[in-house]
Amino acid sequence: MISRRGFLGLLGGTGLAVAGCGTSAGETAGQTLASALAPPAPFTVPLPVPETAVPVRPGHYEVVQRAARVEIIPGTTTEIWGYDGTFPGPTFDLRRAGRTVIRVRNELPVPTSTHLHGGVTPPGSDGYPTDLVVAEGRGFRPPPGAHAGHDLSQWTFHSGARDYVYPLDQRAATLWYHDHRMDFTAPQVWRGLAGFLLVRDDEDDALPLPKGARDLPLMICDRSFEEDGAFRYPEVDPSLLVKAGVEEDFMEGVEGDVILVNGAPWPVAEVDAARYRLRLLNASNARRYRLALTPGGRFVQVGSDLGLLAAPVTHEAITIAPAERFDVVVDFSAYPVGTEVTLVNTLGTGSTRDVMRFRVTRKAKDDSAVPGRLSRIDPPDRSRAVATRVFDFRMTGQGGGAAWTINGRPFRPGRPLARPRLGTTEVWRFTSDFHHPVHVHLAHFQVLSRGGRPPAPTDAGWKDTVDVRPYEVVDVLVRFEGYRGRYMLHCHNLEHEDMAMMADFEVV
Ligand SMILES: [Cu+2]
């Protein structure tokens, strides 16, 4: 095993593969944790589709965070922590500007905070890491060594449940919600606290894209398992109450060796020989994927993190970093009936090379199409920026004092690194020492440049998360719209996030 410093040094110096570390050409961002369990044969478990949440009355939903035992690996059960005891949680299928209140009740032994990723949400409902829901009758004190320290003015506690208010005054898009608890987001998402929230609007509905059963959300994530089927994760404190963090070997991030789609290992879906809209989400803690189809095939991308592109973009492969979304259309009528089309991860090796399989079972009528023009998006215009700010994502310190930081500072709630003005546009420049998927809350952006060159084809459209690679400089044009108040930007490698790679910004 190469030490962490040596590992980073190698990546920095050469960008080449590091033997024995589960890396592939320096493209992966974490350490793979081996399962104790023999994995099931791939492509035997049917693809589940998460249940659609049902409102208790128009515009109002209630969801309970609780433990449940579910069968993930056939023949075993896994205790998950899920929204309504499911993993993924229920899908909220909502409409633009349809103000929605979701009451989240926490029945877990740990505090939680729920963030709607990609949401244009008032600050009080944005899922700030120290704005917590604690199960009724349970006390909670910030653990010693928590990055927020003991400044209790920065912590808020709701007993039992709280309402999150989502105005959803934003374009149709594939959003997702997940836990965002201070210092413990990574283990709590690993245990299952994540789900989809789809925003629909008239513009997206009016397009002849595949609909209904041919519009499939696919949550891709990796997990590892103990011999009895329990999730395996290298936390230093399994209670998740006293001490934050993972074993030192996993400081780069935790990667599992079992790939799940919608909570099932390497599932199989029977599909018509027709077009399907696949809403790809990488909900992994740290793993990046380069998705491709075998025996060949193309993805026609119609949407990014935050909705429709101006025009479709065709990809042979899509690199997707944690928290990114790609809405793609795959035309299964291009394959003879009977073909097995495998979604593979060309950054993976061994068990992480396969993702899921589609079995083309029958010819079918298909009225769908991908129009050449999808939406109107003004190309980003750098001259509109009223400010340029640099955010450097980097490990600082050594040994036990090492931390993942932004501009050399570990996260401290209440000390914003920037105060952009509502209604303005800025250039934010992200620089890095490693793979850091950078996520900005509230404010949506377009990628301007990558290493001084034009953006990648996969950078098109409105985004909230951008894949910043080792020693890369990525410029994005950010628009501050919606609300004033405290928000954050952070690395979405969840282990980095928990190790303080977050910062406040305040929209003024
Ligand atoms: Cu990071």
pLDDT tens-digit map of 420-471: 999 999 999 999 999 999 999 999 999 999 999 999 999 999 999 999 999 9
Q: How far apart are CA 170 and CA 255, in angstroms?
A: 33
Give the pLDDT score at 202: 98
Round the average pLDDT of the chain to a whole number and report it: 93
Residues with CB under 5 A from ligand 1 (ion): 436, 491, 493, 496
Centroid of ligand 1 to alpha carbon of 341 (angstroms)? 33
- Cβ-Cβ contacts under 8 Å for 6 (sequence gap 6 or more): none
Q: Which helix (H) or strand (E) holds 402?
A: none
* 405: β partners: 394
Q: Would strands 340-345 and 354-363 be described as parallel, antiparallel, or unpaired?
A: antiparallel
Centroid of ligand 1 to alpha carbon of 62 (angstroms)? 33
- Asked if pLDDT for residue 18 goes beyond 50, the answer is no
Helix (H, G, I), strand (E, B) or coil at 276: strand
Centroid of ligand 1 to alpha carbon of 467 (angstroms)? 10
**Cα 365 to the chain's mean position, in Å?**
34
The domain 212-363 having CATH identifier 3.40.50.261: the answer here is no
Phi-psi region of 407 (alpha: psi -120 to 50; beta: other; left: phi over 0): left
Output 154 or 14, whichever has higher pLDDT.
154
Give the pLDDT score at 147: 67
Centroid of ligand 1 to alpha carbon of 236 (angstroms)? 20
Centroid of ligand 1 to alpha carbon of 353 (angstroms)? 23
Spans of all domains in the chain: 60-202, 212-363, 382-507
Centroid of ligand 1 to alpha carbon of 285 (angstroms)? 10
Q: What is the pTM of this model?
A: 0.94
Two domains, one topology: 212-363 and 382-507: yes
Give the pLDDT score at 397: 84
Separation in Å, CA 133 to CA 109, 312, 502:
11, 41, 21
Centroid of ligand 1 to alpha carbon of 491 (angstroms)? 4
Centroid of ligand 1 to alpha carbon of 482 (angstroms)? 27
Centroid of ligand 1 to alpha carbon of 356 (angstroms)? 27
Instruction: Please give the full DSSP string across 295-351, using - where no structure is assigned.
Output: T---EEEEEETTEEEEEEEEES-EEE-TT-EEEEEEEGGGS-TT-EEEEEETT--GG
| pLDDT band at residue 145 using 50, 70 and 90 as cut-offs | low
Centroid of ligand 1 to alpha carbon of 23 (angstroms)? 16
**Within 13 A of 249's CA, how many CA atoms are on the CB side?**
12
Q: Per the structure block, which two tokens stand in for 418? A: 């920037």
| pLDDT band at residue 11 using 50, 70 and 90 as cut-offs | very low
Centroid of ligand 1 to alpha carbon of 409 (angstroms)? 14
Helix (H, G, I), strand (E, B) or coil at 391: strand
Centroid of ligand 1 to alpha carbon of 286 (angstroms)? 8
Centroid of ligand 1 to alpha carbon of 100 (angstroms)? 32
pLDDT tens, position by position, 94-144: 999 999 999 999 999 999 999 999 999 999 999 999 999 999 998 887 776
| pLDDT band at residue 20 using 50, 70 and 90 as cut-offs | very low
- Cβ-Cβ contacts under 8 Å for 206 (sequence gap 6 or more): none
% of residues, the chain, pLDDT over 70: 93
Which CATH number applies to 60-202?
Answer: 2.60.40.420
Give the pLDDT score at 3: 36
pLDDT tens, position by position, 262-316: 999 999 999 999 999 999 999 999 999 999 999 999 999 999 999 999 999 999 9
Give the pLDDT score at 402: 80
Centroid of ligand 1 to alpha carbon of 84 (angstroms)? 30
Centroid of ligand 1 to alpha carbon of 393 (angstroms)? 7
- Asked if pLDDT for residue 8 goes beyond 80, the answer is no
Centroid of ligand 1 to alpha carbon of 386 (angstroms)? 27
Output 143 or 39, whichever has higher pLDDT.
39
Give domain 382-507's CATH superfamily: Cupredoxins -  blue copper proteins (2.60.40.420)
Edge-to-edge strands, sheet with 388-396: 403-406, 388-396, 425-432, 473-479, 444-450
| pLDDT band at residue 403 using 50, 70 and 90 as cut-offs | confident
Q: How far apart are CA 508 and CA 12, in angstroms?
A: 38
- Asked if pLDDT for residue 2 goes beyond 90, the answer is no
Give the pLDDT score at 401: 76
Centroid of ligand 1 to alpha carbon of 389 (angstroms)? 19
Centroid of ligand 1 to alpha carbon of 122 (angstroms)? 26
Residue 304 near residue 463, CB atoms below 8 Å = yes
Centroid of ligand 1 to alpha carbon of 82 (angstroms)? 25
Centroid of ligand 1 to alpha carbon of 133 (angstroms)? 26
For 80-94, 128-142, 314-328, 395-409, which range has the lowest pLDDT when averaged over its residues? 395-409
Q: How far apart are CA 20 and CA 22, in angstroms?
A: 6
Question: How much is the average pLDDT of 165-173?
Answer: 98
Separation in Å, CA 92 to CA 42, 73, 157:
29, 26, 25
Give the pLDDT score at 400: 72
Give the pLDDT score at 214: 98
| pLDDT band at residue 4 using 50, 70 and 90 as cut-offs | very low
Give the pLDDT score at 30: 87
Give the pLDDT score at 13: 31
- Indicate the residue type of 9: G
